[in-house]
Homo-oligomer: A and B are copies of this chain.
Amino acid sequence: MNNPHIVILGAGYGGIMTAVKLQKSIGMNEADITLVNMNDYHYQTTWLHENAAGTLHQDRTRISIKEVVNLNRVRFVQDKVISIKPDAKKVKLSNNELNYDVLVIGLGFEAATFGIPGLEEHAFTIGDINSARLIREHLEYNFALYHNEEPNNQARINIVVGGGGFTGVEFLGEIANRVPELCEEYDIDKHLVRIINIEGSPTVLPGFDPQLVEYAMNSLESRGVEFVTGAMLKECTPDKVTYEKDGRLVEIPTMTTIWAAGVKANSIVEKSGFSTNRGKVEVRKDMRTPDYDDVFVIGDCALIMDPETGRPFPPTAQIAIQQSGTVAHNVKAYINGGDLEEFTPKLLGTIASLGHNDGIAVLFNQYKLFGWKATFMKKMSDNRYLLKLGGPGLLMKKGKFNIFY
């Protein structure tokens, strides 16, 4: 008889950690494991804003699959997932089709633009290595063009960030550090450059501790960031954005709009016929879909309600990594006929970086941290993940040891 076939879709935080855990816990004769991913690398989604701003090279952010996955134990297929057919237990790829006995869906997020005109076509999103690298180059290209046009075009050096949530604020922190370097490189007076954040809520980082929000805004404003809160993006064209505030429409000339205000689950999940809630699968406590016993969902495609707030837990790396423990355990139990365990999120805290050596954090829902202490915690948390994923070798290679910088 053939081994049961475990297929993992996506090598993001949830998918790759599940693969790494299963390759240790499942014996050669117990099951075959296949990991499917578009790229031959995993990347730290939470570092992409640094790649996009140009403050960290993308090769620091990505990790070759073969560096952390044992290819003798896990078969790796580099391909794009097109659809899942859960009734037939099949996955359709661009160049292939796979049969599975157990499926783990870790397909991550895609940008949600809420139908705002022009956003999908003309705004950038910080979604993956390619798009982050493109933002960096787009910025440099437009700064380079500035002195090649007469009259100089202010739209080339106005940077608009849509959304003042986590990703938006972290990108603002990096770009505020990067702009003086860009100005030096392209002979542009740095006071001419505008960095504008547009946020729909009355404040950035809505829901965050007000003292920390104030700290973050002060830090960013001192580096030239302008905040426009309570404002809704209305339209994005190649050379401007329009927002509405207090019933009035305002235009900003810009060729660089970074849309950091919305993500949704990979649309393949919904299209493949799983029952979804806001595009996500509201998983059972053991991380399986409501309808299929042999399909687990992990990370951004999974929806788990927080009973305390009545709202879903946010789709964070932290939770995806935690889920991988439960999913790996349950996949093994499902194959061997053991008991499946329940997933319980452990919210350790939230840390937002505001650039090289500045940040804010709330730990264990009570301790507040400012400045370099917050970035220290963030770097330690990133380093801990690298250690879990690839051991000391990977930590030494990709870790963040620039503690005081």
Contacts and interface: CB of A to CB of B under 8 A. Distances in A.
Interface of A: 130-131, 133-134, 136-138, 140-141, 143-145, 147-148, 186
A186 B137 CA distance: 11
A42 to B, nearest CB: 14
Nearest to A138: B141
Nearest to A80: B150
A137 B144 contact: yes
Question: Would you call the interface of chain A mostly helix, strand, loop, or mixed?
Answer: helix
A145 B135 CA distance: 10
Nearest to A145: B134
A133 B144 contact: yes
A148 to B, nearest CB: 5
21 contacts: A130-B144, A130-B147, A130-B148, A131-B148, A133-B144, A133-B186, A134-B144, A134-B145, A134-B148, A136-B144, A137-B137, A137-B140, A137-B141, A137-B143, A137-B144, A137-B145, A138-B141, A138-B144, A140-B140, A140-B141, A141-B141
Contacts of A141: 137-138, 140-141
Contacts of A186: 133
CB-CB nearest 8 A-B residue pairs: A137-B144, A141-B141, A130-B147, A137-B141, A134-B144, A137-B140, A130-B148, A134-B148
A373 to B, nearest CB: 34
A399 B168 CA distance: 44
A298 B113 CA distance: 59
Nearest to A132: B144
A48 to B, nearest CB: 14
Nearest to A41: B187
A143 B134 CA distance: 9
A133 B186 CA distance: 8
A131 B186 CA distance: 11
Given A134-B148, A136-B144, A137-B137, 12 more contacts: A130-B144, A130-B148, A131-B148, A133-B144, A134-B144, A137-B140, A137-B143, A137-B145, A138-B141, A138-B144, A140-B140, A140-B141
A150 to B, nearest CB: 10
A98 B205 CA distance: 57
Contacts of A144: 130, 133-134, 136-138
A153 to B, nearest CB: 13
A241 to B, nearest CB: 20
A404 to B, nearest CB: 28
A98 to B, nearest CB: 22
A42 B177 CA distance: 29
A133 B144 CA distance: 6
A80 to B, nearest CB: 10
A138 B148 CA distance: 12
A147 B147 CA distance: 28
